[in-house]
C-alpha cells in the first residue's frame, strides 16, 4: 500500500510538471519528514552525489561531444565512411549507421550522435531518393547507439547508482552495440534491395577515399584511444573523458581548424546546462533512494517479486513492458534513476549479473528515446529535418523491433555483453 501511494505521489508530481530532480528530491524530503527522519540527509545526499569522482566524466564527455559536434567532425566521419561503403546497396543508409556507430565511440550522448550525423546524413539521403520515413527512423534509432557504444552517460549514471564498475559497463556495451549496428546495416540493405526508390551512389575513387579517411583519422584515433585506454586500465573513465575533451580541442583547433571561440563557448555553456540538469536529477534520485531505503521499499518489492514472479524470463518480460510503457512519457536518465534502485536487488536475487542488467536497462532506455510522445531522439531529428514529430515517429517502428530483438538475444546469450569485460 505504501509503495503504491509513493509511486502515485511521484507520478503526480512528475506529470504536474515539477522538474524531475525536484520531484524526486521533494518526495524524498516529504517521506523523510513524514517518517520522522532528519532533513539533514537532503544536503548530505546532494553533496555526496556531486562529490563522486566518476560523475566528473559526465561534463567532460558532454564537452568532448559538443566540441566535436561544433567542430563539424560529423561531416568528416560521414564523408569518410561514405567514400568506402556509399556504393553498396543502400550504401548511404549503411554509411549513416556506421557513422552513428563511430561517433558513438567518441560521444556519450544520443542527442549529440543523432544531431551530428543527422545534420549531414538527412539532406544527403533525402536528395538521393531514400524514403523520408525510413531516413528519419534510421537517424533517430542510429542516434541511440550513442549511449550503448562506450562512452555512455547513462552507463556512468547506472554505475554510480548501482555501485558497479563503469569500465565493465562500458566494455559490456561494445558487443550489443556492434550487434545492433549489424542488425541496422542488414535491415538497411534489405530495405534498399526490396524497398528500392533511391539513386545509387557511384563508387568513390581511391584518392577520394584516402583523403576523406585522412581527415576523419584523428576522430577514429580518439575513439581507439578512449576504448583501449579504458580496457588496458591506463585511464579511469573520468580521466578518459578529460583526455578526450583535450584531444577534441586539439583536433578541432589545430588539425581541422574548424572550432571558433564562439562555438567553443557555446559548447561549454551547453555542456554546463546539460550537466547541471542531469546531475541534479542524480542528486534528487539519491535523496529519493535514501528515503525509500529507510521505508524498506526495495526489499518489499524484491520480496513481492520473489513471491509472485516465477523465473527470470517472466521478470524480464514484465520489466521490459514496464520500461517500454514508462518510456512513452519519461526521459532516459529519469527511468534509470527511478527504476534501478527498485529493480536491481530483485534482478540480482533472480541471478542476473548487475552489469548485464545495466546493459539491458540501457537498451530499454534506447527504446524510450524513440517512442512517442516523449522521445528525445524524435525531437532531435524533428528539429534537424524540420518535419513533424508524427512523421519521424512513424519511421522508427522497424528499428524499435530490432532493438527488442537485441534484448531477446542478450537474454538468450548473456555473453553478448559479458564476454568482453569478463572473459576476454
Partner 1 sequence: MTIITTISRIAGLFGACLMAATGALLTYEVIARYFFVKPTIWAAELSQLCLIWGCLLAMAWVLSIRRHITVNAVTNLLPPGAQTVCVAVSLLVLIVFSGVAAIYGWGIFHDSFDRGRTTGSLLNLPSWVAELSVPVGFTLLAAQAVVELIGLRRAHLPSLGRSHE
Chain residues binding partner 1 by CB under 8 A are: 13-23, 25-26, 29, 39-40, 42-44, 46-47, 50-51, 53, 55-56, 59-60, 63, 111, 234-235, 238-239, 241-243, 245-246, 268-269, 271-281, 328-331, 333-334, 373-374, 376, 379
CB of 62 to partner 1, least distance (A): 9
Q: Compare residues 1 and 16 and give the one whose CB is closer to partner 1.
A: 16
CB of 201 to partner 1, least distance (A): 33
Q: Compare residues 89 and 372 and give the one whose CB is closer to partner 1.
A: 372
Rounded to an integer, what distance in angstroms lies between the CA atom of residue 398 and that of residue 145? Answer: 15
Q: Compare residues 79 and 219 and give the one whose CB is closer to partner 1.
A: 219
Nearest of 402, 384, 378, 376 to residue 124 by alpha carbon: 384
Q: Compare residues 6 and 305 and give the one whose CB is closer to partner 1.
A: 6
What is the DSSP-derived secondary structure letter of residue 352? -
Contact status, residue 367 vs residue 403, Cβ threshold 8 Å: yes
Query: Within 233-260, where are the H helices?
Result: 237-250
CB of 116 to partner 1, least distance (A): 16
Q: Compare residues 276 and 318 and give the one whose CB is closer to partner 1.
A: 276
Distances (CA, A) of 268 to 69, 73, 367: 12, 17, 29
CB of 13 to partner 1, least distance (A): 7
Contact status, residue 336 vs residue 158, Cβ threshold 8 Å: yes
Secondary structure (3-state) at 109: coil
Q: Which residues are CB-contacts of 163 (< 8 A; sequence separation ≥ 6)?
A: none
Contact status, residue 183 vs residue 190, Cβ threshold 8 Å: no
Buried b (16+ CB within 10 A) or exposed e, 22-40: ebbbbbbbebbeeeeeeee
Q: Compare residues 349 and 373 and give the one whose CB is closer to partner 1.
A: 373
Q: Compare residues 202 and 233 and give the one whose CB is closer to partner 1.
A: 233
CB of 15 to partner 1, least distance (A): 4
CB of 328 to partner 1, least distance (A): 8
CB of 68 to partner 1, least distance (A): 14
Neighbours of 72 (CB within 10 A): 17
CB of 385 to partner 1, least distance (A): 17
CA 264 to chain centre: 23
Dig out the grid coordinates for 114 from the structure: 543523432
Q: Compare residues 19 and 414 and give the one whose CB is closer to partner 1.
A: 19
Nearest-5° angle of CA 51, CA 336, CA 19?
A: 75
Q: Compare residues 19 and 89 and give the one whose CB is closer to partner 1.
A: 19
Q: Compare residues 234 and 318 and give the one whose CB is closer to partner 1.
A: 234
CB of 240 to partner 1, least distance (A): 9
CB of 376 to partner 1, least distance (A): 4
Rounded to an integer, what distance in angstroms lies between the CA atom of residue 276 and that of residue 282? Answer: 10
The packing angle between helices 261-294 and 332-349, to 10°, is 40
Rounded to an integer, what distance in angstroms lies between the CA atom of residue 78 and that of residue 295? Answer: 51
Count how many Cα atoms sit within 13 Å of the Cα of residue 150 in the half-sphere of its side chain. Answer: 31
Amino acid at each position: 500500500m505504501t509503495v503504491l501511494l509513493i509511486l502515485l505521489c511521484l507520478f503526480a508530481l512528475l506529470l504536474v510538471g515539477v522538474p524531475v530532480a525536484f520531484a524526486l528530491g521533494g518526495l524524498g524530503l516529504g517521506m523523510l519528514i513524514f517518517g520522522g527522519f532528519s532533513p539533514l540527509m537532503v544536503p548530505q545526499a546532494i553533496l555526496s552525489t556531486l562529490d563522486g569522482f566518476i560523475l566528473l566524466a559526465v561534463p567532460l564527455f558532454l564537452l568532448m561531444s559538443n566540441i566535436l559536434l561544433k567542430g563539424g567532425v560529423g561531416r568528416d566521419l560521414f564523408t569518410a565512411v561514405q567514400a568506402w561503403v556509399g556504393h553498396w546497396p543502400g550504401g548511404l543508409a549503411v554509411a549513416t549507421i556506421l557513422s552513428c556507430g563511430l561517433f558513438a565511440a567518441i560521444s556519450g550522448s544520443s542527442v549529440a550522435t543523432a544531431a551530428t550525423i543527422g545534420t549531414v546524413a538527412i539532406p544527403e539521403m533525402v536528395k538521393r531518393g531514400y524514403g523520408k520515413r525510413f531516413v528519419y527512423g534510421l537517424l533517430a534509432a542510429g542516434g541511440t547507439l550513442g549511449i550503448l557504444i562506450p562512452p555512455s552517460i547513462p552507463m556512468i549514471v547506472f554505475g554510480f547508482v548501482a555501485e558497479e564498475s563503469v569500465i565493465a559497463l562500458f566494455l559490456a556495451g561494445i558487443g550489443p552495440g556492434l550487434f545492433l549496428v549489424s542488425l541496422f546495416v542488414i535491415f538497411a540493405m534489405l530495405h534498399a534491395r526490396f524497398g528500392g526508390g533511391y539513386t545509387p551512389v557511384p563508387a568513390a575513387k581511391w584518392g577520394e577515399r584516402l583523403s576523406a579517411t585522412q581527415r576523419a583519422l584523428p576522430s577514429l584515433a580518439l575513439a581507439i584511444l578512449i576504448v583501449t585506454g579504458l580496457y588496458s586500465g591506463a585511464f579511469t573513465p573520468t580521466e578518459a573523458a578529460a583526455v578526450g575533451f583535450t584531444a577534441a580541442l586539439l583536433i578541432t583547433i589545430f588539425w581541422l581548424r574548424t572550432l571558433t571561440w564562439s562555438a567553443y563557448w557555446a559548447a561549454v555553456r551547453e555542456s554546463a546546462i546539460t550537466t547541471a540538469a542531469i546531475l541534479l536529477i542524480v542528486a534528487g534520485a539519491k535523496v529519493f533512494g535514501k528515503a525509500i531505503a529507510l521505508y524498506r521499499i526495495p526489499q518489499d518489492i524484491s520480496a513481492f517479486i520473489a513471491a509472485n514472479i516465477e523465473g527470470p524470463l517472466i521478470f524480464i518480460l514484465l520489466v521490459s513492458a514496464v520500461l517500454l510503457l514508462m518510456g512513452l512519457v519519461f526521459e532516459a536518465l529519469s527511468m534509470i534513476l527511478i527504476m534501478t534502485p527498485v529493480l536491481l536487488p530483485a534482478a540480482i536475487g533472480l541471478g542476473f549479473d548487475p552489469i548485464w542488467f545495466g546493459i539491458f536497462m540501457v537498451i530499454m532506455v534506447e527504446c524510450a528515446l524513440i517512442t512517442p510522445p516523449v522521445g528525445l531522439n524524435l525531437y532531435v531529428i524533428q528539429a534537424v529535418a524540420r518535419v513533424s514529430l508524427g512523421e519521424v515517429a512513424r519511421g522508427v517502428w522497424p528499428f524499435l523491433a530490432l532493438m527488442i530483438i537485441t534484448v531477446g538475444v542478450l537474454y538468450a546469450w548473456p555473453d553478448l555483453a559479458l564476454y568482453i569485460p569478463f572473459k576476454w
